Amino acid sequence: MWKEIREREFGKLRPNLFTSSVSKHRLSSIQLSNSKEIISSHRASINSLQVDLTEGRYLLAGASDATVAVYDVQRASDYEGGGLIAKHKSVLLINKQHEHGHKYPVSSAIWYPIDTGLFITGSYDHHINVWDTNTTQVVMNFKMPGKVYRTAMSSLARSHMLIAAGTEDVQVRLCDIASGAFSHTLSGHRDGVMSLEWSTSSEWVLITGGCDGAIRFWDIRRAGCFRVLDQSHSQFGRRPPLLVRPSTNKKSSSAGQSSCAKVRAPHKKLNGNALKSQVKTAKQRLHPGMISSLDRATGHYGVITGLKVTDDGMYLLSAGSDSRLRLWDIESGCNTLVNFETTRLQSSKSIQMALSQDSALAFVPCMTTAKAFDMWSGQTRWTFRGHYENINCCWYNALDQELYTAGNDRQILVWSPSKLNFDEVDEWRNGQAAVTDQDNWSD
């Protein structure tokens, strides 16, 4: 890293490349932090974690003992070991003794995307509460028809304030904070909805994963889902880049055309009936109906337990109770056939996955461990061991390059980049001394 700092000072390295290289260097040295500890206020398994999207400072956690807590991960409440270990206690705690607190496990806890003044909790007591952070009072309540498995709000939304709720009911409901009522009911799943995610490229697109194994895409501006992912509809590898420079060499262009001609299938003339059938199938693929056979496609052989969209909105990572991870190309709806190394995933409850800042790494809870997978090769980069029981949720804080994990052992562990070792410092000093000796023009 010292080499990059020196090149940045001399103007040989651009600022954006410098920040990306430093982030990758810090991420490659991530390990269990020995200088930061979060004192958990929960007495049961922790099901949800999220750091606020505005300051990257406050960690929100929801647990099975119906407690919701907020931790300040940047300012410690106490220090131990001569100031070397920072202790972070909860700055806000809501439990069953609260007047409007949940009575059953809290399955989901999320921040309001553009402000830390509100947060939303969903529980097995069939309620979704909208809380005022300053007064710790419920400002809005939504009664759901069943257990709430997952809630989500769009970080891009400028035209609506909708909370998407996945419950044990077959219908997905959208709760409007502005009106205090249900604005949409999305019908299509044949079983409960355990996971859902908003698109990171459009504020109108919602992605849901059900217990029927189906992954559906919804445009909330119109009725019906417009896409159902099929695991057998696949393409190998990443999508090629959209912009391709035209070749100036005529020979190479002709060679490319000839090679393309070999790959292409021979063109056949179609009669009127065949053309109509092709148009019908194209319409079915674009807009699958409820009676269509395409509507029964499945993304996994089992329950969809987790969904995560990349920051650019081009790819979707899904996890299922069949202990499989699949990477999907959102534009084409194809399974990219990335072979993630064999792992075991939870099947009884939903899991919360996380992605690194550049979406190159995926952090996935795998029973008692959390694994970091390379998104494009599927190989396991690191395995994080520290929990005594199953891990339920992960959250990656891009501001500090820290990973937070929590599970059934009621603990929240912090995984942060390791500090520089003395070898790197000595190398930097030696390099600086060599540069100083060579710089004799000022004499």
Assign residue 154 a region (left: φ > 0; alpha: ψ between -120 and 50; beta: otherwise). Answer: beta
pLDDT in tens, 391-438: 999 999 988 889 999 999 999 999 998 864 434 434 444 554 444 343
Rounding to the nearest 10 degrees, give the CA dihedral for residues 177, 179, 173, 106: 40
Name the band, by pLDDT with cuts 50, 70 and 90, for residue 442.
very low
pLDDT in tens, 380-392: 999 999 999 999 9
Name the band, by pLDDT with cuts 50, 70 and 90, for residue 248.
very low
- Report pTM: 0.80
Q: Which run of H or E residues covers position 172? A: strand 172-176
Name the band, by pLDDT with cuts 50, 70 and 90, for residue 375.
very high
Q: Is the pLDDT of residue 103 over 60?
A: yes
Residue 20: per-residue pLDDT: 75
- Position of tokens 């028809």? 145
Name the band, by pLDDT with cuts 50, 70 and 90, for residue 41.
very high
- Position of tokens 């099929």? 230
Domains of the chain and any CATH numbers: 35-237+290-417 (2.130.10.10)
Please state, in angstroms and as integers, the Cα–Cα distance from residue 105 to each residue in 66, 121, 153, 265, following that order.
5, 10, 20, 57
- Position of tokens 């190989």? 379
Name the band, by pLDDT with cuts 50, 70 and 90, for residue 18.
confident
Q: Is the pLDDT of residue 111 over 90?
A: yes
pLDDT in tens, 172-213: 999 999 888 888 899 989 999 999 999 999 999 999 999 999
Residue 358: per-residue pLDDT: 84
Assign residue 126 a region (left: φ > 0; alpha: ψ between -120 and 50; beta: otherwise). Answer: left
The rounded distance, in Å, linking the Cα atoms of 22 and 16 is 10
The rounded distance, in Å, linking the Cα atoms of 318 and 298 is 12
Residue 292: per-residue pLDDT: 54
Residue 274: per-residue pLDDT: 47
Q: Is the pLDDT of residue 67 over 90?
A: yes
The rounded distance, in Å, linking the Cα atoms of 359 and 354 is 9
Are the CB atoms for 412 and 404 separated by under 8 Å?
Answer: yes
Residue 264: per-residue pLDDT: 41
Q: Which residues does 28 contact at the CB level (< 8 Å), separation at least 6?
A: none
pLDDT in tens, 322-339: 999 999 999 999 999 999
Name the band, by pLDDT with cuts 50, 70 and 90, for residue 271.
low
